[in-house]
Amino acid sequence: MGPSIELDSRTAGAIDGRHIRALTFQDVRLEYVRSVLRRLGIDPAGRSALVVGSGRGLLARGLAGLGLDVVALDPSAEATAMAREAGGGPIEFVTAPAEDPGRADASFDLVFYADTFEITGDLDRVVAHAARLLRPDGVLFYDTVNRTPVSRLIYLGAFQALPLTRIMPSGRYTAARLRTPAEIAAALAAHGLRNEDVCSFKPKNVLNLVRATLARRAGKIDDEAIPHLTDFVLDPNGPPLVTYLGHARPQS
């Protein structure tokens, strides 16, 4: 019997693959946001941001560190509670699903969907809210998982099914909810958002990702050690075989 797999868990010894993923992706998420805002000539200081799928608040705190005024939503009340306890700046943490986020129209200059597009069963509704919440000159950011043979092997197999490398509960990911860049672009376009970029990201060395996963499963390392071992990097010129980032803007 291996360790328990529990999302948003306070259980001692439990493996929370969602939190591991947030830690592992944090640097590339922030690097991508900074690079896009710089390219667009947008100063983040004092602008408003919404994080959907905030988890324990890691990305929200990172965006607040760029000078953004951040609201962070997550469907898990337990994750919201842990995010509030972690603190880290004047961030409003709220429990709400991506499919029904509330908030007034045109409330945010920046919206980031993390851990969302590959989880929701109603992408159209999620994107409709994204378009509604974004200001006319705003930027929508997202990261998600492509639907390829390699991504299925990793997300449906290694991370969800194989005993030695499993870090997610069964059913967290399905093939139908892994979406190609073309499918994401079409969903965005249906609600007046123009996808402007797709950027692959990956570990520098896949074997290090495997070693880190095995070590975490065996209890040899803690969550905080994983990002240093996996070292994810942006790969803007590479094909998005597994994970990718992107951004979109309202069509003029």
Q: Give the pTM.
A: 0.96
Q: Which residues partner with 142 through β-bridges?
A: 113, 246
For residues 55 and 83, is the Cβ–Cβ distance under 8 A?
Answer: yes
Residue 89's pLDDT is what? 77
- Residue 176 Rama label (left phi>0; alpha psi -120 to 50; beta): alpha
Residue 3's pLDDT is what? 84
DSSP state of 15: B
Architecture of domain 17-250: 3-Layer(aba) Sandwich (3.40)
Residue 109's pLDDT is what? 98
Tell me the pLDDT tens digit for each residue of 157-205. 999 999 989 999 999 999 999 999 999 999 999 999 999 999 999 999 9
Domain boundaries, the chain: 17-250
Count Cβ atoms below 10 Å from residue 177 Cβ, excluding itself.
17
The residue-averaged pLDDT of 51-62 equals 97
What per-residue string of b and e applies to 192-225 under the rule 16 or more CB within 10 Å gives b? bbebbbbbbbbbeeeeebbebbeebbeeebeeee
On the question of pLDDT at 120 being above 90, the answer is: yes
Residue 6's pLDDT is what? 94
For residues 132 and 98, is the Cβ–Cβ distance under 8 A?
Answer: no
The residue-averaged pLDDT of 121-134 equals 98
Task: Tell which residue, 61, 66, 157, 77, has the closest CA to residue 114.
Answer: 61
CA distance 218 to 252: 52
Residue 13's pLDDT is what? 84
Residue 12's pLDDT is what? 84
Alpha-helix runs per DSSP H in 107-233: 123-133, 149-151, 181-189, 206-217, 226-230
Return the percentage of the chain with pLDDT > 90, whole number.
93
pLDDT band at 24 (very low <50, low <70, confident <90, very high): very high
Q: Which residues partner with 145 through β-bridges?
A: 243
Tell me the pLDDT tens digit for each residue of 142-152. 999 999 999 99
- Across the chain, what does the average pLDDT equal? 95
Residue 1's pLDDT is what? 57
